């Protein structure tokens, strides 16, 4: 009987330690003004975030065979991130212009930034964005990882590499999917680093 009690106490202790380990490993993301981890000075909620194609570069839409010379995403952070959360950007602009076809944004949606890979290649997820081209509508749905955001290097802005495929949700005589490919520059905030906490 004594051995059973000791075994029961051991199981309880292991369970408690496992639970504590689980809470300690929760994701945490902040946008940082300094290249430090943990972050010594983060960007507050309401910080403007903008990403543009660099001058002289283009982006491609495969599936419909189009190229655009200008494209941008812009918005403001709605939180600071922190333990158990990602940084959410409420978008005010998602645009593709100077293309062969006309791309019309129907729903702007949000962008989420999540710390990953030691802050060197952080996950970027688009949510709720919809657009129309050639009579067909495509959507990021409840969340599509569109690529990675890389931090500023000395004297340079942060960068974003996008490669993501989206499903057609309306219209009938277009490709069932389109793939967005391009490399963008983060023009604000600058500098930009992504830290774990």
Alpha carbons 112 and 147: distance in angstroms, whole number? 11
> pLDDT tens for residues 75-116?
999 999 988 899 999 999 999 999 999 999 999 999 999 999
> pLDDT tens for residues 112-141?
999 999 999 999 999 999 999 999 999 999
Phi, psi of 83 (to 5 degrees): -60, 130
Q: In this predicted structure, what is the pLDDT of residue 20?
A: 35
**H helix or E strand, kind and range, residue 50:** strand 48-52
Residue 172: is its pLDDT beyond 90? no
The pTM (predicted TM-score) of the whole model is 0.85
Q: In this predicted structure, what is the pLDDT of residue 26?
A: 53
Q: In this predicted structure, what is the pLDDT of residue 18?
A: 34
Biggest distance spanned by C-alpha atoms of the chain? 80
Alpha carbons 174 and 177: distance in angstroms, whole number? 8
> pLDDT tens for residues 19-56?
333 333 457 999 999 999 999 999 999 999 999 999 99
pLDDT band per the 50, 70, 90 thresholds, residue 147: very high
Alpha carbons 84 and 28: distance in angstroms, whole number? 5
Among 183, 191, 195, which residue's Cα sits nearest to residue 155? 191
Q: What is the mean pLDDT of residues 46-70?
A: 96
């Amino acid at each position: 009987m004594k051995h059973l009690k000791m075994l029961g106490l051991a199981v309880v202790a292991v369970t408690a330690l496992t639970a504590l380990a689980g809470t300690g490993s929760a994701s945490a993301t902040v946008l940082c003004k300094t290249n430090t981890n943990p972050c010594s000075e983060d960007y507050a909620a309401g910080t403007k975030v903008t990403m543009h194609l660099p001058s002289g570069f283009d982006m491609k839409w495969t599936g419909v065979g189009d190229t655009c010379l200008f494209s941008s995403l812009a918005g403001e952070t709605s939180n600071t991130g922190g333990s158990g959360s990602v940084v959410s950007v409420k978008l005010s602009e998602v645009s593709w212009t100077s293309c062969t076809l006309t791309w019309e944004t129907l729903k702007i949606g949000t962008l989420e930034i999540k710390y990953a890979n030691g802050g060197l290649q952080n996950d970027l997820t688009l949510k709720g964005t919809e657009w129309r081209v050639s009579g067909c509508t495509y959507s990021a749905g409840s969340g599509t990882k569109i690529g990675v955001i890389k931090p500023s290097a000395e004297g340079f802005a942060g960068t974003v590499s996008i490669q993501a495929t989206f499903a057609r949700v309306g219209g009938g005589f277009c490709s069932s999917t389109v793939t967005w490919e391009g490399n963008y520059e983060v023009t604000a905030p600058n500098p930009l680093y992504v830290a774990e906490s």
